[in-house]
Structure 1
Amino acid sequence: MTVRGDETTENGTPVRHDTRWWQSVRLRFGLLLALALLPWLLLSALETYAELDRARVSQSRLADIVASSTVAEVGQTLEAGRLGLDAAPQIIADLGCEAGSAEVLDRLGVYTALIVKDATNAVICQNPSSVSDLVLENPDAFSADKLFRIEAGLLGTGDQAQMVVVLQTVIRSSGHTYTLILPENLGRRDVLDVTLGAGSRITLTKLDGTGIVGLDRSEERNQFFLDRIADADVSLLDYTNRNGENRRSAARYFKYLGIYVSVGRPVRFENILSLINPYTSVMLPILAWLVGFGLIWIGTRSMLLAPISKVRRTARLFAGGKMDSRVRLSDSAAAEVQGLAYSFNSMAHQLQERDLRIADNMDEKDTLMREIHHRVKNNLQIIISLLNMQERKAVGAEAIEAISETRTRINAIAIVHRGLYESTDLRGIDVAPFISRLVASISESIGAEEAGISVKQSVAPCHLSADHAIPVALFIVEAISNAAEHGVERGGTIHIDIQCPETGVLQIDVADDGRGVGDPDAMRGIGTRLMKGFARQLAGTLVFQDNAPGLTARLTLPIDDSPEQPFQVSQKRR
């Protein structure tokens, strides 16, 4: 369980404060740094958004320009091919098949093959010679008013075949067919992929909406789309294809060719290279925070965490009793932590000096207390000696008995004071040796051996304060004397049982195996009254129990079992 740092246990011991990970000074500094950089990040994000929007608009405009330019260039290429077909018969007639066909292809540039067939469809001129076969896909038939067409075809070259764009015309006077071959990509596919994106394409469409190239075989141009394309000008149109993709097209109708040329592209095309700079502006605050947090992580260790850890370890050693422990920090520690270490060292020095002074005072008080207990014991011994002298002069059994009882009681008090000044703990005594001396003294006083009385004891290890020891000693004196006088006066056993259970209660039983009393409540003697008085003084409970045979006097009293440190002999620390 996590507790507050200022909580303590019942005896005042501080409870260690278990911190959680988010309470780390590093993370808090990192959060403060993030808050400091937050305005920069927000402004950068807004600027990036605006820059991205400008980049999209700019890219869209550039793409429209490139697409429009491509449409015009494709139209010019096809127009040049048509003019080349018109000039090819004369050039071939003047230069011959090989030289004339090469001349035509050289002038047209991107065209890859020229084929001339006679009216019987036999090849009379071909360049290059590797072209083996040409098959047109769904061609429009020639007519009296239509001697030129642009179609899609499959061209065989050796063992391979490829889709091509075919320009054909028929010479009416000779019936010869002149054919020019153009690659399906019209020589511009790579350029479009770089500038307009991989989804861009060039489309050639017939007047009826069927595609020559760029359209799937099952796809046809919507007539509404074709009606919006103007002649001589490039039209920019937005549409949705069959896959549901939004596209933008630059298109134009070339009436001399009889086809539509369009270049389509994705509407949201973006050139990733143009976005590097906007995204960089957002990454800069984040990168700055990462670098700053890394520096905080490293710097706080050398300047704060490691020095504070040294202060904490030294404080624990100091609290554990190593009073000479001091904090020693390197110059890399922060000035505030060094000030804390200086204050701790100053406090430790003052506490050590005060501890030495207290130890000296304790030694002095300890000596005085021992001297007092010793003198009290000696004075009591003097009183006992005077009583012994008085006893020898006394006349009459009652006087002698009274003096003997008084001497026994005073001797019990003397035994307590002897136990106190001989003990290392001046606030109390050990019960076992104290009871052993007391029983020996009482046995000698009552003449137990001569009277055939056996006194046995069973004492659990426990500790009695000085305030408890004297009343307890006097109670035991009266209980043993009462048992010897009224219970086992003709011989028997007296048993003393002292128990110290963990419940904080001391129980003293003084039992004999004598004749008993029958009714314990009827006991009214002086000894009984004294025992009851001692019980009241100890805030305890006295119970007499007839054992048949014998009588038990049980005293139960509360004792202080708190973990307070008793007054002990101090050891000077230098």
Structure 2
Amino acid sequence: MSARPALPRRALKPRLATQLIVVLSIAILPLGLISVYQTNKVLQERQSLSESALLQRTQQAVGESREVIRSAISSAETLAVQISALQSSGDTCSAVMSEVVDRSETFAFAGYRDNARGLICASRDVIANTESPLDALPEIDQRSESVLMRPLEFLGGIATFSVTVPVIDEGRFVGTVWIAVPVSALNGALSQAGENVNLVLFKTDGDIIATEDYTENRRSVLPADYSLQDLAASGRQTFRGESREGETRDFAVSPIVSGQVFVLGSWMPQGRGIQMPIFEQALALYFPFAMWAITIGVAYVGVHRLVIRHVRRLRSWMRLYASGGYDDLGDARLDDAPEELEVMADAFRAMTRRLSEQDRRREEDLQEKTVLLREVHHRVKNNLQLISSMMNMQIRATNSAEAQRLLRRVQDRVMALSAIHRYLYLARKLSMLRADKLLEDIIQQLVIVGTLDESGQQIKVATELDPVEINPDQSVPLSLLATEAAMNAVKYCGVNADGEAWINIALKSQDDGNLCLSIVNSRASADDDAATDDASSTGLGSRLIKSFATQLNGTLETEDLPDRFELHVVFPMAWHEAREDAV
């Protein structure tokens, strides 16, 4: 028997939901990248605006102090232009310097220093009270035309902030105009900036010019991680950090005098400040993923509601119909399905109606053919019984014993055929027949008849029939073979040494898929007649038995022993042949 070829495994294909996620992910990817880019740009612009706003607030807070410094610079520059006309008269120069100081509420000193002759003129009451600092003013490079800032000059015991401007005459450096501003004026202006800010004015070298609280703790408001030199070198900037007091502050650095004086504003963080919150940074990063997840979720819900659930419903209908659960799905409906799926459902329902109608017609045709076939078997059985009755009448009318015996043998064969058709008429399934029940009816009738017609001795009949099935094509030769063998067994059955006459009939199913019909009868030790007409002779019964065994595609074996005669026929089962044909 050849092995059945293995069915190819169905390749696993991605589900509709998986394909949908992949397609939508590819479609949304450009939008996600654009969203990330635009979100980052917006956040950067917002941070830039926050930094600009903080710088602007710092510039506004230091506005008064900036005006004081710029006023001193402007006044010094103006005096530097007019000094050539004033230096010819020392009294006039000093008067002008005094007038400049008197008109300004913030100036403490104004004077002019000639590099060759020292201090030429100054505001009144200052020269007499000033000692070394006036002479200690360093030499100014003649090539320099920049504004110089000198903090913490003490004039008359007052801490001042000095502004020096070089005087250039016909391209030559001739002296310096010097204006001193009390540090207290700057400190007072800084203290009025507000409670949420600490302001510090400092130079590029890190020297503090003025603070709100100009004490030994004036550097406590500075950032802990940066020096004033570094901040001056970096220029205009904003950042968030900790002060030297350990407080988290927003810092802003902006120049007041380009390249010389800077302001440091230390602000209490308000709201979002200049640093983007962590959740907004996370939002900028995860917003595209959230948009992707929401889009996939909405699309999946939509596709599931519009397509997937209806497809699953159709699949359940198909499985139910294939399993025989529904004969007609005409009442099955989809819930709010799209038109395309509803058309598919209508086509499936129409197909089931056509198949159900074809099944019904086929069932009616099969039932009609079965009825006709049963009727054929019934009529054949009746005809065979009629023939048997006619032969029985002929037997009674015949005086010859030999003729009666021959007619009775023919009658037994006819009755065996009649038994087959009677069984087919009464059977619930015509495709397969129970061989044990068929043989039991035939053999019982033949044994009883044979016993009555022969010597009249009582024969013990034992049967052992397995419940096996055969097809109708095997039923006729098997029944006729069993009839001939049973008639021979009845005819030649004898009383053995134990004084008993017996017949054993068996139908067994073997492990190799074959059936074995065995008929064994007892024999008398001196029964010469049995030896002359057994299954191995050339009589009609022997020839019929061999012919029927050949029709069963089986093998015939006989064994003649002194006390018994055995007949064995081995033939294949019908279902075994059908299975081999299928394979």
**What TM-score, normalized by structure 1, do the two folds share?**
0.58
Q: Aligned residue for 1:128?
A: none
Q: Aligned residue for 1:507?
A: 516
Q: Aligned residue for 2:37?
A: 49
Counterpart CA distance in 1 for 2:202 and 2:522 is 132
Structure 1 pair 63/359, CA: closer, same or farther in 2 (3 Å)? Answer: closer
Q: Aligned residue for 1:473?
A: 479
Letter in 2 for 1:434: L
Counterpart CA distance in 2 for 1:202 and 1:530 is 134
Structure 1 pair 418/179, CA: closer, same or farther in 2 (3 Å)? Answer: same
**CA displacement at 1:182 relative to structure 2:** 8.7
Letter in 2 for 1:464: I
Letter in 2 for 1:463: E
Letter in 1 for 2:552: L
**CA displacement at 1:552 relative to structure 2:** 3.4
Q: Which digits, 9 at most, give the CA deviation of each residue in 1:173-217, with x for residues without a partner? A: 599x9989899999689679xxxxxxxx98968847899345578
Matches within 5 A, 1:114-263: 145=133, 172=156, 207=205, 212-213=219-220, 225=230, 228=233, 234=235, 250=253, 252=255, 261-262=263-264
Matches within 5 A, 1:456-535: 456-488=462-494, 491-500=500-509, 504-514=513-523, 523-526=536-539, 527-535=541-549
Q: Secondary structure at the match of 1:447?
A: helix
Q: Aligned residue for 2:340?
A: 336
Letter in 2 for 1:52: N
**CA displacement at 1:373 relative to structure 2:** 1.4
The answer for unaligned runs of 5 or more in structure 2 is 72-104, 107-130, 135-150, 160-181, 209-217, 243-249, 268-273, 579-583
**CA displacement at 1:67 relative to structure 2:** 4.1
Q: Which digits, 9 at most, give the CA deviation of each residue in 1:26-54, with x for residues without a partner? A: 5655655555x43xx51452364156247
Letter in 2 for 1:343: A
Letter in 1 for 2:548: F
Structure 1 pair 465/398, CA: closer, same or farther in 2 (3 Å)? Answer: same
> Contact 2:474/2:552 (CA < 8 Å) preserved in 1?
yes
**CA displacement at 1:469 relative to structure 2:** 1.3
Matches within 5 A, 1:161-560: 172=156, 207=205, 212-213=219-220, 225=230, 228=233, 234=235, 250=253, 252=255, 261-262=263-264, 271=276, 287-300=294-307, 304-305=310-311, 308=314, 311-312=317-318, 315=321, 319-320=324-325, 323-329=327-333, 332-392=336-396, 398-447=402-451, 450-488=456-494, 491-500=500-509, 504-514=513-523, 523-526=536-539, 527-544=541-558, 549-560=563-574
Q: Which digits, 9 at most, give the CA deviation of each residue in 1:146-171, with x for residues without a partner? A: 9xxxxxxxxxxxxxxxxxxxx99977
Counterpart CA distance in 1 for 2:352 and 2:486 is 55
Structure 1 pair 44/492, CA: closer, same or farther in 2 (3 Å)? Answer: same
Q: Which digits, 9 at most, give the CA deviation of each residue in 1:71-126, with x for residues without a partner? A: 7955964996999xxxxxxxxxxxxxxxxxxxxxxx99xxxxxxxxxxxxxxxxxx
Counterpart CA distance in 1 for 2:510 and 2:21 is 58
Q: Aligned residue for 2:112?
A: none
Counterpart CA distance in 2 for 1:501 and 1:397 is 43
Letter in 2 for 1:23: R
Counterpart CA distance in 2 for 1:500 and 1:315 is 39
Q: Which digits, 9 at most, give the CA deviation of each residue in 1:216-243, with x for residues without a partner? A: 7897566xx48847xxxx56699xx9xx
Counterpart CA distance in 2 for 1:460 and 1:300 is 57
Q: Secondary structure at the match of 2:219?
A: strand
> Contact 1:33/1:289 (CA < 8 Å) preserved in 2?
yes
Structure 1 pair 20/284, CA: closer, same or farther in 2 (3 Å)? Answer: same
Counterpart CA distance in 2 for 1:185 and 1:451 is 148
Q: Once structures 1 and 2 are overlaid, which stretch shifts more, 446-455 or 51-60?
A: 51-60
> Contact 1:311/1:327 (CA < 8 Å) preserved in 2?
no
**CA displacement at 1:360 relative to structure 2:** 4.0
Q: Secondary structure at the match of 2:517?
A: strand
Letter in 1 for 2:15: Q
Counterpart CA distance in 2 for 1:191 and 1:58 is 22
**CA displacement at 1:419 relative to structure 2:** 0.9
> Contact 1:235/1:251 (CA < 8 Å) preserved in 2?
yes
Q: Which digits, 9 at most, give the CA deviation of each residue in 1:54-82, with x for residues without a partner? A: 75367448636844873795596499699
**CA displacement at 1:537 relative to structure 2:** 0.8
Percent of residue pairs identical: 20
> Contact 1:205/1:212 (CA < 8 Å) preserved in 2?
no
Structure 1 pair 185/305, CA: closer, same or farther in 2 (3 Å)? Answer: farther
What number of residue pairs does the alignment pair up? 440
Q: Secondary structure at the match of 2:300?
A: helix
Q: Which digits, 9 at most, give the CA deviation of each residue in 1:298-354, with x for residues without a partner? A: 34477x35763674477358x34x545523436723333333343344444444444
Q: Which digits, 9 at most, give the CA deviation of each residue in 1:483-536, with x for residues without a partner? A: 334453665221122234687533322233446999xx9944544443332222
> Contact 1:207/1:259 (CA < 8 Å) preserved in 2?
no
Q: What's the C-alpha RMSD, in Å, of the aligned pairs? A: 5.7
Counterpart CA distance in 1 for 2:197 and 2:289 is 31
